[in-house]
Every structure is written in structure tokens, then in C-alpha cells.
Chain A
């Protein structure tokens, strides 16, 4: 090879190399579209969930992306409103032409996009909504939330109450879709367990003062109080309970109170939380340590302060990250972005995530519920760091994750140390 040929080959290699680098750089990103409540009543959860998804995006991009392409999130604020989401998802599909879809956080904004997504034949990874697919029957819906079967929440809570000697039930719920889905199943479960419902109130979301409602509930003398509430109401209900009291007959109080999982609400309520038994998705208890959870929380908590979102990030953010992991595993295994191919993979396999292994049932919910019922123990006022410790929210259900015993009755549990 003479000098001229050598120079020619070298030039060709450089050109080829540059062009391949250029083509890799120019490969369009994989766009994942979603709306997220960033203002309005669901914003606290929505922003924290989004940060969890963003941590996954940064992790996957640092590893080179999916199929050699970077991942880009296309996100719009749905203002926590059900009326905003159908238009946003139409725009994501028709204007932004996203490759994949994530659902917004919570039931209310997700429910109206289900018919659209089914009609367009799109895969949708759900984000903590409850039973939105029960009537739509979309075969490409996969919920990240660990709820499991529809009656799981009521069965576990009312079951705990029954074991503690409870015979009668009070139901208190917010007049919105999530709470009503839960309370409907609670009525059915109560009937099945042969426990009479002696108080059943549905309050409008604009209710600001609960003293009168708690007073009326006390007059019915229930043994078990199952509450399905949203964040502002949850705090107001617990304040009223603390002031008015619920009587010695109440064995167990709580169940489905949204908000008691968020750091700011827990910090504000402090000792008022003691004794409450409530659902949760992840807690810093020894039974819930999965590979990757600790590393994720370290990354999330560093960014949460600057982003002014939930500084603990136990409830939603790990599941936001898991949404990304589900897509990551399906795309890497199938080498495809085709919705049907990905859906088939997701349905047929068990997926290892930072929130534990996930296997989906036919309706796109988890085959086995991993929702825990935990009781607040020994909580002090104005101390956020206490919630990072094990033993503050003792898991009392299910048995495979249990880390402590239920303390009853509720009044005794409130005062126990």
C-alpha cells in the first residue's frame, strides 16, 4: 500500500466514522408522551411522580438510551382536570407523534383517556389509577400501581377490623371517582363479611370542616371506620377526629386516605397520625427492600429539594421509575416499539423492578396485590426525618410483608408509644 492509498483509506475511515457518529446523534429520540397534574389538587403527587420518571429517563440515557436512541419525555400539565386529558393525548398522538404513552398520575385524569387510547390501539402504562380499565377492557393497559384485585383494599382493611373484634362499619368517602370506586367495593365486601354498615356518608370535595360529620358518625357507634379521602380532606378529617374523638368502640380507623403518604402532609399532621391504619405502596420497612430502591431514592431525594416536591418520595416516585423499567425491559427484549408486541411481552412475563417483581393479570392490574396496610406508631410533631426510619409505619397486612402487630382499639393506638 503506497502513501497515497494509505492516506485515502485513513480519510475513508475517518469519514465513515464521523458519518456513523453523526447518524447515531441524528437518530431521532424515542418520545414518551404523557400529561401530568402539575397544578391543581393532584399536583403534589403528579410532580413527584414525574420526577421519578425523569430519574429513569436520565438513567436510561446515561446507559445509551433504548434501541440506541435517546429517550425524550413530552409532558403537558393537565391541571388535575379530567376535562383536559383527552385533548392532550390527542395532541400527543397527532401533533407530537410520540412513540409511547404513559398515563397521568391518578384516576380522575386517566379515566377519560381510556376510550381514546383503546380506539387508537395504543399501549398505555397506568400511573396509580384505580379500576379505570374495569369497564373499558383495553388489552394494552398495564397499571404500575400495586393495587391488585378491585376488592383488595376493602378486604384487607375490613378483614383487619373483623379480626380485632369489629362488627359494624362506618364508611366516609369523597364524592369523586377514585373514592367512590373504593367505597362501592367496600359496601360489597361488608355485605360478604356479614358486617352491617351503620354510617355511610359521601361528602362533596369542597367540604372544609369535618367536625359535624365526625360528630354524626360517632352517634352511629361504628367499630370500624373506613375512610376514602383525598389529601386536603384527609388532613381535615384527622384534625376533626383528634378534637372531637371517635369513641372507645372504634377498633380501627383509616383505610384509603390519600395524602397520608406525602411528606408534607405527614409532617404537618405529626402525632395526629398515631394509630391510623392506612394503605401504602412502599415503606422503609425491612420487608420492602428491593434491588435498586435505595439507589433510586438517593438520586430522587437529591433532586426533590430543588424541584420542591415530596422530599421522601416513597409513595409515587419509585413507581414512576418502575413505569420506565417496564418499557425498558419490554423494548430491550422485543427490540421493537410496536404497541402490540410490547403489550404481549408485558402480559406474558414477570418484570423485575425497584418496587418488586410485577406480573400482570388479564385486566392489566397486578396479579397479586402488593398494597400494604400500615399503622402509624410513635409519631412526633414536626419531624420529617422520623419517616425515613423503620418502625414508624408498621406493616400489618399482608402477612408476607408484615413487620409488626396491629394495636387496637384506635383510641389506645393513638396514645400508645
Chain B
């Protein structure tokens, strides 16, 4: 069934969904895209952040977005320590660090999942906020406010991060370490410290992204498995390390998924996403904005 109204709704809902996908993928764009770290535990950290937000909301009635901001420093520290551990045990030791690193981060993902189950049980958890469960009506169209909030915050997060990486001294240092680690070393800078800081930022971003995740839908300990494919798909489609590319790729994915869900049938949605990834890589192997 096709109608212009349906198409309009699908595009709008897809843009909102796409921005949310950008928020949950942008950290991976730094850790995997820029730093070349096989961070397969990224969605597990994301789910962990959601549970921290749940805890703040459930026990202390803190707004989920504020809770997301509050846990950001903790997640920065978590990322900082995780990278150091990864560097000392894997990256420092040899050329196959990438392959062994995947095992390291898979291990971390499983540990996070088990810790969440032990602490919170296996049930779904969700948060309450004034903007959850309501819709904004424009004519005959209704837009869920939780998705509008996720859209606005995700857009702000992505733009801020892109500005930080391109305009600040530390941001440019992170880009430099991604391009030529050895060159940076010759200039007297310590690339490991910079990478450690960058990994901290990539993980800190998940504090906010985790808040958006639990605002958009309830979470459960195994939810990371749903997002692992999507987040890597967005980052690779974007072009490794491109934050603007991540936003564009996520929007394309969100809109495509929404149009397919609305007009052609839900079962095609995942196939379309990955078909688009393959198509883009066939034309531009470096991704949309990759160099």
C-alpha cells in the first residue's frame, strides 16, 4: 500500500530514528574508526550506561537525560582504564593485536552482560519522564516526543563531537594519531596517552547514548546483540572515523529502514540496511566520507 502521507510519515520517523542511531554509533566511530580498536563491546557499554541511567531514575527520580550527563565522567574513566588494559595486554605485544583484541572485547561484553544480570536480573527495565509516552500532533501526523528528544540530543551530541575533533587542540591530536601514529611520536607526543584519552571520550559519549537508548525503548541485559550489527554498519558506511559521515549514514539507514517498514514489509528491513552498506562500499570502498 503506497500513499504520499505514509511516505511523509516514514521519512520523518526515519530521520528521528536515524539521529538516534547516530548517537549510539558515534562513540564507535572514534574507538573503531579513528583508533582502530576492535571495540565489539561498544553496545555492551551502551546497555550498561542505560542500566546506570535506570538506577538513577528509579532510585533517585533523576531525569534520564540528566542521569546520562551525570554518568558521563564515570564512563570516561571506564573507557580510560579499559583502553590501558587492552593496550598493555594486547596492542603493545604484536601485530595480531586486532584479532586477539576482538576476543578481549567479546570477553568484556560477556562480563558486562553477566554483571547486569546479577545486579538487575533478566527482566526488562525502563525509565519514566514527562516526555515518554506522549506524541506531538501535526495535522493527522503524530510524532512520539521521546523520539523528538532523542533526535535533538543526538544531533547536539554528534555536532559537538565533530566540532571538538576538528576545532580543539586535543581533538586534532586524536585525528593525528589516527592518521600517523609514528609521526606523532617523532614530534615528541605520546600517542598511547592520546589514544587512551580518545577511548575515554568514545566511552563517555555512551553515557548520553545509553540514556537515549532507555528513553526510546525498555532495555534488557542482552540488548547489545541487537545493536552490534547496526552500529558497525553505520560506522563502516560512514567511512572510518568520520563523525559527520556517521550522522549521514545513520540518517540514511534510519530513513531506509522506516520506509521499508512502512511501505514494503518489516521482514525486509535488516536486509535492506546491509544491502545498502554493501552497495555503498562497492561504489566507495572508503565509505561515504572516508578518506
Contact = CB atoms under 8 A, between A and B. Distances in A.
Interface of A: 38-41, 43-44, 47, 175, 201-204, 206-209, 211-213, 215-216, 219-220, 231-232, 235-236, 239-240, 242-245, 259, 262-265, 268, 272, 308-310, 381-382
Interface in B254-280: 257-258, 261-263, 265-267, 269-270
A235 B267 contact: no
Contacts of A216: 1, 6, 261-263
Nearest to A272: B133
Interface in B127-165: 128, 133-135, 142, 144-147
A208 B230 CA distance: 11
Nearest to B113: A39
A268 B218 CA distance: 8
B226 interface: yes
B115 interface: no
Contacts of A382: 128
A219 B6 CA distance: 8
Contact of B270 (A206, A236, A240, A245): A206
Contacts of A202: 265-267
Interface in B205-255: 216-218, 220-223, 226, 229-230
B13 interface: yes
B217 A209 contact: yes
A39 B122 contact: yes
Contacts, number: 134
B213 to A, nearest CB: 9
Main secondary structure on chain B at its contact with chain A? Answer: helix
Given A235-B218, A243-B134, 16 more contacts: A40-B222, A44-B122, A47-B122, A203-B266, A203-B267, A209-B13, A215-B13, A219-B5, A219-B6, A243-B133, A243-B135, A243-B144, A264-B123, A265-B218, A308-B120, A382-B128
Interface string B32-56: 0000000000000000000000000
A245 B269 CA distance: 23
B13 A211 contact: yes
B3 interface: yes
Contact of A310 (B117, B123, B135, B267): B123
B124 interface: yes
3 nearest interchain CB pairs? Answer: A203-B266, A264-B123, A308-B121
A268 B216 contact: no
B14 interface: yes
A170 to B, nearest CB: 12
Nearest to A174: B266
B269 A43 contact: no
B144 A211 contact: yes
A220 B226 CA distance: 29
A215 B121 contact: no
Contact of A41 (B5, B147, B220, B230): B220
Contacts of A262: 123
Interface residues of B, number: 48
Nearest to A216: B262
Nearest to B273: A206
Which residue, of B117, B142, B144, B266, has the highest number of chain A Cβ atoms within 10 A? B266
Contacts of A201: 265-267
A206 B226 contact: yes
23 contacts: A39-B114, A41-B220, A43-B117, A44-B121, A44-B123, A203-B269, A209-B147, A211-B144, A211-B147, A212-B14, A213-B266, A219-B5, A232-B124, A236-B218, A239-B133, A243-B142, A244-B142, A245-B135, A245-B142, A259-B124, A264-B125, A265-B124, A268-B125
A232 B227 CA distance: 14
Given A202-B267, A209-B216, A220 B133 contact: no
A242 B121 CA distance: 27
A256 B98 CA distance: 45
Contact of A213 (B120, B261, B270): B261
A245 B128 CA distance: 20
A220 B125 CA distance: 33
